[in-house]
Structure 1
């Protein structure tokens, strides 16, 4: 695949940190575990060896996945964005009419999403409904739990992670 993957600077930084940890900590650690398991003799009946090899395969797969994401990264510098229109990277303060409270989300790349931190994927139903809208607009979101109505109270562009509730 050669499609670009939109992400924020902080998302790229987290991926870079994960890749470094996988290569400098996890990979050498699993190699040592495999060597230790090998020393226990007959590999055909060695559960430690089989488990270590499976773990190695998982780590190598994750390294390939993270390297692929970084290679296809289209880093959006959120600090250079401005305005009242919701776009990728925007932090959006909403009035949730159904829950009668204000919520705040930041629209990020798919792998960066973490609802507990207020980070929602650009491909999520709520983000898709918000993209292109402006402060003051009301949007209906078809969520898994049914339709929800929100009013856009504020749109801002900051690089840090947004809190889940405002």
Structure 2
């Protein structure tokens, strides 16, 4: 089984969701099914069928999270010496060479990526272009409309 990288925060978020599903959602769904059963005929019982469907989604998500966690290679960059190199988990500030606009991204696993929170997947074109580079290195990202050149301003392991 292939391991895939995940940050400590990403793993904690999945563990929290798993806990919620197992200790809160699952018992709520079981109670809803039991309650719906008491209403008699199950063929015509919409509440029962809705609760069973919810149960299927919940159990599926529990299995999915457990599989992700079992295959995760959790990487804690805060415990690594910062040699200024861009690696998985690093927080990188880059500057668009043409516009001088600065942006900061954290390189995370696929499941953790959220561009609104400046979390980009290690497999995204911009992250792939940055990996292995150091402060003051320039790199180019090919976008559908053009090529954009960036310079690495700061690399943090936070």
TM-score over 0.5 (shorter chain) = yes
Q: What CA distance in whole angstroms lies between the structure 2 residues aligned with 1:144 and 1:19? A: 38
Kept in 2: contact 1:126–1:143 (CA 8 A): no
Partner in structure 1 of residue 85 of structure 2:
85
Query: Could you list the runs of 5+ residues in structure 1 that have no partner in the other structure?
Result: 159-166
Q: TM-score, normalised by structure 1?
A: 0.88
Alignment of 1:1-166 (within 5 A): 2-81=1-80, 82-97=82-97, 100-144=100-144, 146-158=146-158
Query: Could you list the runs of 5+ residues in structure 2 that have no partner in the other structure?
Result: none
Q: Alpha-carbon deviations, 1:9-49, whole Å to 9, x = none?
A: 11111111111111000100111111122222221122221
1:95 to partner: Cα distance: 0.6
Kept in 2: contact 1:120–1:127 (CA 8 A): yes
- Change beyond 3 A, Cα 1:144–1:44: farther
- Change beyond 3 A, Cα 1:56–1:99: farther
Runs of 4+ in 1 over 2 A off after TM superposition: 96-100, 142-149
Q: TM-score, normalised by structure 2?
A: 0.92
Q: What CA distance in whole angstroms lies between the structure 2 residues aligned with 1:139 and 1:38? A: 62
Higher mean C-alpha displacement, 145-154 vs 41-50: 145-154
Q: CA RMSD, aligned part only?
A: 1.5
Q: Alpha-carbon deviations, 1:114-141, whole Å to 9, x = none?
A: 1111111111111111111111122111
Higher mean C-alpha displacement, 130-139 vs 95-104: 95-104
Q: What CA distance in whole angstroms lies between the structure 1 residues aligned with 2:6 and 2:73? A: 6
Kept in 2: contact 1:83–1:156 (CA 8 A): no
- Change beyond 3 A, Cα 1:101–1:33: same
Q: What CA distance in whole angstroms lies between the structure 2 residues aligned with 1:48 and 1:147? A: 54
Residue-pair matches, total: 157
Query: 3-state SS of the aligned residue for 2:86?
Result: coil
1:101 to partner: Cα distance: 1.5
